[in-house]
Homo-oligomer: A and B are copies of this chain.
Amino acid sequence: MAGPICVGIVGYGNLGRGVERALALTSDMRLVGVFTRRDPAAVRTLEADVAVRPLSALEGQGDQVDVLILCGGSKSDLPEQTPALASRFSVVDSFDTHARIPEHFAAVDAAARGAGTTAVISTGWDPGLFSLQRLYGEAILPQGETYTFWGRGLSQGHSDAIRRVPGVAAGVQYTIPSEEAVARVRAGDQPQLSTREKHTRECFVVLDDGADPDAVREAIVTMPDYFEPYDTTVRFVLAEELAREHAGAPHGGFVIRSGTTSEDAAQTMQFQLALQSNPEFTSSVLVAYARAAARLAASGHHGAMTPFDIAPGLLSPKSAEQLRAELL
């Protein structure tokens, strides 16, 4: 491509803000504008000179935008937006509802093939970078087991679940990998681990005035799917402490492939993320895959793709020659 890659951001929450930041750290990509369903006048971007327009303004942007980065949620935004926008633009998203990836892929693929655009779905870190490590591990060490641990990190979905419990004024939830389970996996034991053995959950909760702590605790730890399958600790804190100590969005975790290549040879591959800002990291991954999507679109590779389909070199602003000389 001759000039910089022109990028539009669709949706401006934590993820959209992170994309604005991440684009500013590149030298080959340019932000052409933020597109929002909200009143554009109510959106404050990090840099004051960013154009904020209603989603409908995308109509006339076909020539100005090489790729759109979709920053909506996986529950209701992306299942509609990604196929709809892929029928007019090359796009990337971080769709993360694992069980619904096949249907999302099919819908986006049909739209992108029909329109001759390129759509990369489910970037981010899980799905995304963690998926890549699961694939590399299994392909290289077919005899073995793969383990994914999440945390220590703040889970948005579980925090939301806590906040819906009657008597809870505010709260956050951390997912914590079991140290014992991790140690066994790292030692090459290839253990079979139950859900309860792999992770614990820790909740910091601010009570409503007059709420019964025992009832709140009981409601949380017995909540099906979210907390019942885990050993869950509930800690009651004051609103000030919650604001002071638990305002960030740290996360991370690891993928471990524990395999053997012969009787005597245990081989372990491990990938670990330690993130002080989960949304900013996800945004950074989105931006790297947006670069790949724009390049693939320009070279005529159309349809839906996932990180499994993207040659690593396409993520880097460096040329293939530079990459071979500097990083190989």
Residues of chain A whose beta carbon lies under 8 Å from any beta carbon of chain B: 18, 21-22, 25-26, 98, 101-102, 105, 122, 127, 129, 131-136, 138-143, 186, 248, 261-262, 264-277, 280-281, 283-285, 288, 291, 306-313, 315-317, 320-321, 323-325, 327-328
Q: Is the CB of B267 within 8 A of A281?
A: yes
Q: Is the CB of B328 within 8 A of A139?
A: no
Q: Is the CB of B315 within 8 A of A307?
A: no
Q: Is the CB of B276 within 8 A of A266?
A: yes
Q: Is the CB of B139 within 8 A of A316?
A: yes
Given contacts A262-B21, A277-B262, contact A308 B288 (CB under 8 A): no
Given contacts A261-B22, A270-B271, A308-B311, contact A141 B325 (CB under 8 A): no
Given contacts A284-B261, A321-B102, A323-B135, contact A142 B25 (CB under 8 A): yes
**Which among A276, A280, A283 has the highest number of chain B CB atoms within 10 Å?**
A276
Q: Is the CB of B285 within 8 A of A265?
A: no
> Chain B nearest CB: distance from A284 CB in Å?
5
> Chain B nearest CB: distance from A167 CB in Å?
32
Q: Is the CB of A312 within 8 A of B135?
A: yes
| A307 contact set on B, CB distance < 8 A | 312, 328
A315 to B102, CA, bound (A): 20
Q: Is the CB of A327 within 8 A of B265?
A: no
How many copies the complex holds: the figure is 2
> Chain B nearest CB: distance from A44 CB in Å?
16
Q: Is the CB of B18 within 8 A of A261?
A: yes
> What residue of chain B has the Cβ atom nearest to residue A26's Cβ?
B142
> What residue of chain B has the Cβ atom nearest to residue A315's Cβ?
B139
Q: Is the CB of B98 within 8 A of A328?
A: yes
Q: Is the CB of A284 within 8 A of B141?
A: yes
| A138 contact set on B, CB distance < 8 A | 316, 327
Q: Is the CB of A327 within 8 A of B134?
A: yes
Given contacts A262-B280, A306-B328, contact A135 B271 (CB under 8 A): no
A69 to B291, CA, bound (A): 33
| A277 contact set on B, CB distance < 8 A | 261-262, 264-265, 267
8 CB-based A-B contacts, threshold 8 Å: A135-B316, A139-B315, A141-B284, A248-B264, A261-B277, A267-B273, A269-B272, A272-B272
| A134 contact set on B, CB distance < 8 A | 327
**Which among A21, A268, A321 has the highest number of chain B CB atoms within 10 Å?**
A268
Having A22-B261, A308-B328, one finds 13 other A-B pairs with CB under 8 Å, namely: A101-B324, A102-B325, A127-B328, A131-B328, A136-B312, A139-B291, A139-B315, A261-B284, A267-B273, A269-B272, A271-B272, A309-B311, A309-B313
